[in-house]
Structures are given as structure tokens and as C-alpha cells.
Chains A and B, each alone.
Chain A
Amino acid sequence: MTQEVQRDQGRSAPDSTAMDQGMRALSYLISGVLLYGGLGWVGDHFLHTHFLVPIGIVLGAAFGIYTMIRRLIATEGLAPPADGAATMKEGDQ
């Protein structure tokens, strides 16, 4: 019963949001690798080189991780650990 009340107050349950965040992180990683790896492949194809695909894949993964970190900081109120103690999710209103 108390759990019901708590759920009513929270905007969203932590488990479903956490699952979406996990899926979103995966999606960013796949997108980054696909996009920049693909760009690298196009570059290799036209420049007749062979080193752009791996660079693109690694850069794409890095951009994907970067975007996910930024999104978490912006939407969840998560600060990076270097910023001090404010790593807890801040109360909504």
C-alpha cells in the first residue's frame, strides 16, 4: 500500500526508466558506430585508403558514450563524480 502511494508521487518508476536508459545507451553506441564507421567506409571507398573505418568506429563509439553521458547529466541531474557529492538524483520539484 505504501509502495502504491510512493509510486503515485514519483513521475516514473525507477526500473522502467532505468531500462529505457540502458536501451538508449545501447542505441547511441550502435548509432555512433554505424554512422561514423559508415562515414569511414565511404571515405575509404573514395580515397582508396584502409584506415578510416577503424578510426570511424572508435570515434563513433566515443561520440555515442559522450552523448549518453551528456544526456544523463542534463536530464537526470547527475553530475560527474569530479564535481563533488551531487551524484544523487535530485528530487523533482
Chain B
Amino acid sequence: MSLLAVLVPLEGFEAPGVSSFDLPGLFGQSWLNKFLLQAIVSVILIMVFWVVMARKRALVPSKGQFIGEAAYMFVRNSIARDTIGHDFKRWVPLLLALFSFVLVNNLWGVFPLTLMPTAAHVGWAYGLAGLVWLIYNGIGIGRWGFFGYLKHVTVPPGVPLWMFPLIIPLEFLSNVIVRPATLSLRLFANMFAGHLLVLVFVLGGEYLLLHTESAFNKVAGVVSLLFSLVIFALEIFVQSLQAYIFTMLTAQYISSAVAEEH
């Protein structure tokens, strides 16, 4: 009997899937779902955080101020200055805002009360990447003029003239469509997959532990629940890393939109 329960697929268990991300509207409003609420709360939190950080600055920093300054200097130096180089200071506010927003919204995925990264809904990733797209193309057009920028993003460096008809459409597609698309998909896919992984281990473990009979299943359920904690730790790492990569690539796109290429 117990062996049968192990071998036969468990009935009644609904595996988590894409439908786990279709969340209902809150407070009777169809447009106000968990993702939007998290984003709004994150914006308020980030604003309060940075305003407090900017207000209470002392020569000998407190612990809180140290954290704020470390975060600011990380974005300023490791992302903005190292990537954009000359004249990077103009972009620090934008990059800091992006980094804070993406990081906090990613970390909602491991925060016990929310447990859902905002970018696990693809619309948020598209929105963020669309914003970055508008910004870096706008910067490029402002820097080079419309046709100058078009030349900047379509004429590849170092390619002989006779190859131009073959390469120009490719370069355009790569610079204007594929790069921002991968930016959004990378963020979305990481958040989506990470959350799904957590769901599989937690829901599967819970089902095995509480809704099945055999002792083997109960042990497997406990192991699965314990392992979900490891996945959570991995998720914290992935979420921070993706926030960094998103900001870093934004800086890189801005840099390549204004950079001189020969």
C-alpha cells in the first residue's frame, strides 16, 4: 500500500504553474492586485529610506547611515562610474532609483508577508525595460540627432562596406529590439522561475506532509520543506544579482548610446 502510494502519481495535488501568478484584485478593485500594491509600497519605502538617509547625515556615520552610504556608493562607483566613466554623475540618480526599485521589488519575493517578486509578472519587467529603452534612445537622439543616432545604432564598427546591406538590419534589430527585450526577459524569467521553484517545494512538501498517508511521503515532505529554505537563500542571491545586472546593463546602454565609436 505504501509502495503503491509512492509509485502512483498523487491525486488531488495541483502543481503550481503559470496560473499561480494570476492574482485576483484586492479590495474589490480589479485593477489593484498584489503586484501593483507591492510596487506602490516599495516606492514609498524607497522614498522614505533615501530622504531619511539624506537628512540624518553625520560626520561619524551611524549604522543606518553606513548602510545607506554603502548602497549609494555601490551604485555610484561600481555601476555608474565604472560603466559610464566620464560624466557619469548625471546618471547616478536614475541608476540609483532603478536599482532601489528593482532590488526592493525583487526582495518582495522572500519577504514573509508578500512572497512574490513584482517582476514575476511579465508586465512589470516589460514596463521597466520599456522605460530604459525610452531613456537610452532619448539620450542617444539628444546626443547625435535623430539621423545621427540612427547611424550610430545601425552602422556596425569595423565591417567592410559591401557587408552593410546584410549587417545593418541585424545591427538595428540587435541594438533597438533584442537588447532591451532580453533586459526585460532576464529579469522576468529569473523572478518567475525562482518563485515557481519555491512554490513547487513549499506546496509539494506541504501536500506530501499533510495530505498523504505513507511515512515515506511524510519524510519526503519534510525534506522538501527544508530544502525550500535553501531555495529561499538562493533566491535572495539571485534577486540581488538581477537588480545589479539590470542597473548595470542600463548604465551600459546609456554609455553605448552616447559613446564615440570609431
Contacts of B157 on A, CB cut-off 8 Å? Answer: 70-71, 74-75
Inter-subunit contact B179/A24 (CB<8 Å): yes
The chain B residue with its CB closest to the CB of A28 is B174
Contacts of A20 on B, CB cut-off 8 Å? Answer: 83, 248-249, 252, 256
Which residues of chain B from 156 to 207 have any CB-CB distance to chain A below 8 Å in the complex?
156-159, 163, 166-167, 169-171, 173-175, 177-179, 182
Give Cα A74 to B261, complex, Å.
9
Looking at B175, B249, B252, which has the most chain A CB atoms within 10 Å of its CB?
A: B252
* Set A13, A16, A34: member contacting B178, Cβ < 8 A: A34
Give Cα A64 to B251, complex, Å.
23
Contacts of A75 on B, CB cut-off 8 Å? Answer: 157-158, 261-262
Inter-subunit contact B158/A71 (CB<8 Å): yes
Tell me if A's interface is mostly helix, strand, loop or mixed.
helix
Task: Let me know if A30 is at the binding interface, CB within 8 A.
Answer: yes
Task: Let me know if B85 is at the binding interface, CB within 8 A.
Answer: yes
Given A7-B82, A12-B85, A31–B170 Cβ distance below 8 Å? Answer: yes
The chain B residue with its CB closest to the CB of A73 is B158
Inter-subunit contact B167/A63 (CB<8 Å): yes
Inter-subunit contact A74/B178 (CB<8 Å): no
Task: Let me know if A11 is at the binding interface, CB within 8 A.
Answer: yes
Task: Let me know if A27 is at the binding interface, CB within 8 A.
Answer: yes
Give Cα A71 to B82, complex, Å.
21
Scan B56-80; emit 1 where CB is below 8 A from any A CB, else 0: 0000000000000000000001110
Which residues of chain A from 1 to 30 have any CB-CB distance to chain B below 8 Å in the complex?
7, 11-13, 16-17, 19-20, 23-24, 26-28, 30
**Size of the chain B interface, CB-CB below 8 angstroms:** 35
Inter-subunit contact B82/A23 (CB<8 Å): no
How many pairs of residues, A versus B, come closer than 8 Å at their CB atoms?
90
Task: Let me know if B86 is at the binding interface, CB within 8 A.
Answer: yes
Given A71-B158, A74-B262, A64–B170 Cβ distance below 8 Å? Answer: yes
Inter-subunit contact B173/A34 (CB<8 Å): yes
Inter-subunit contact B170/A67 (CB<8 Å): yes
Task: Let me know if B139 is at the binding interface, CB within 8 A.
Answer: no
Inter-subunit contact B249/A23 (CB<8 Å): yes
Inter-subunit contact B83/A32 (CB<8 Å): no
Inter-subunit contact A16/B248 (CB<8 Å): yes
Inter-subunit contact A12/B82 (CB<8 Å): yes
Question: How far, in Å, is B170 (CB) from chain A's closest CB?
Answer: 5
Contacts of B169 on A, CB cut-off 8 Å? Answer: 35
Question: How far, in Å, is B238 (CB) from chain A's closest CB?
Answer: 16
The chain A residue with its CB closest to the CB of B82 is A13
Contacts of B83 on A, CB cut-off 8 Å? Answer: 12-13, 16-17, 20
Given A16-B79, A19-B245, A35-B169, A24–B85 Cβ distance below 8 Å? Answer: no
Contacts of A12 on B, CB cut-off 8 Å? Answer: 82-85, 255
Given A11-B86, A16-B83, A27-B174, A67–B182 Cβ distance below 8 Å? Answer: no
Give the interface of B toward A (CB within 8 A): 77-79, 81-86, 156-159, 163, 166-167, 169-171, 173-175, 177-179, 182, 245, 248-249, 251-252, 255-256, 261-262
